[in-house]
Structure 1
């Protein structure tokens, strides 16, 4: 998984484009998903999402994915679970303070963010705190529902 984490950061621009295709597809399927029922759609969609993001990103399935803003580096892989940047304990060689054999998740995030775009850096946007009640649910479906104008999607 650690190798794939690095691979995904190096290929973040391409992965972002693939995600945009998936998001457009799910957005087009929104009327079908809403008729089918969000709760029933959650199980198969989350299974696919968990498999893909687990393999490629070593995703921790928080249900509030921001890898599009963090260079395809899942911030939940940070041993301190920081969502808005490094802890300040990043070693001078870019390695993690807590796990010295691991490259800091936020060093990878910045590298991936630079790969994704030439003009803007979404990594600089402060993200809201994690709502742990959403852990193990589909971030993809939540985003599609948000784009469709649904409200009250916290749980």
Structure 2
């Protein structure tokens, strides 16, 4: 079944979004810009090296994926606020698999042990152990 779905999903998503087939699609959260096109594989926003013209630090002739993501998210009639959601780390075991099947089966919903989208922040004026 997955081979059949991949035969449709892969060429379609590659042609439209330059999809990298991570198996955990978050296009709706990134303004329909595939964050896996970032040469640093950043899934939660740009690095500190975005050029003043909005181009990538690594590939100066290409637009930063995250600049595209922000601009795209502002044009979407739905999911506009999803650009602010913290994304869990990539599960590299899903690379090359169908994100459609992974979504329906729940395989893409698993987060690494100990990961939280809301990390505990140190209280103001207090120093955490080890700092």
Equivalent in the alignment of 2:46: 86
Equivalent in the alignment of 1:61: 21
* Structure having the larger proportion of residues in helix: 1
Equivalent in the alignment of 1:106: 66
Contact 2:6 2:98 in 1 (8 A): yes
Looking at structure 1, the residues matched to 56 and 65 of structure 2 have their Cα atoms a distance apart, in angstroms, of 8
Which of the residues 86, 89, 103 maps onto 1:126?
Answer: 86
1:43 aligns with 2:3: yes
Question: Which sections of structure 2, spanning at least 5 residues, go unmatched?
Answer: 111-131
Provide the TM-score with structure 1 as the length reference: 0.66
Distance 1:137 1:92, change over 3 A: same
> Runs (4+) of structure 1 moved beyond 3 Å?
151-154
Looking at structure 2, the residues matched to 44 and 129 of structure 1 have their Cα atoms a distance apart, in angstroms, of 27
Render the CA deviation track for 1:2-25: whole Å, top value 9, x for unaligned.
xxxxxxxxxxxxxxxxxxxxxxxx
Looking at structure 2, the residues matched to 87 and 75 of structure 1 have their Cα atoms a distance apart, in angstroms, of 12
Distance 1:142 1:99, change over 3 A: same
Looking at structure 1, the residues matched to 77 and 99 of structure 2 have their Cα atoms a distance apart, in angstroms, of 22
Question: Which sections of structure 1, spanning at least 5 residues, go unmatched?
Answer: 1-40
Aligned-residue Cα RMSD (Å) equals 1.9
Equivalent in the alignment of 1:12: none
Question: 1:152 Cα shift?
Answer: 8.8
Looking at structure 1, the residues matched to 33 and 79 of structure 2 have their Cα atoms a distance apart, in angstroms, of 19
1:116 aligns with 2:76: yes
Task: Please tell me whether Structure 1 or Structure 2 has the larger radius of gyration of its CA atoms.
Answer: 2
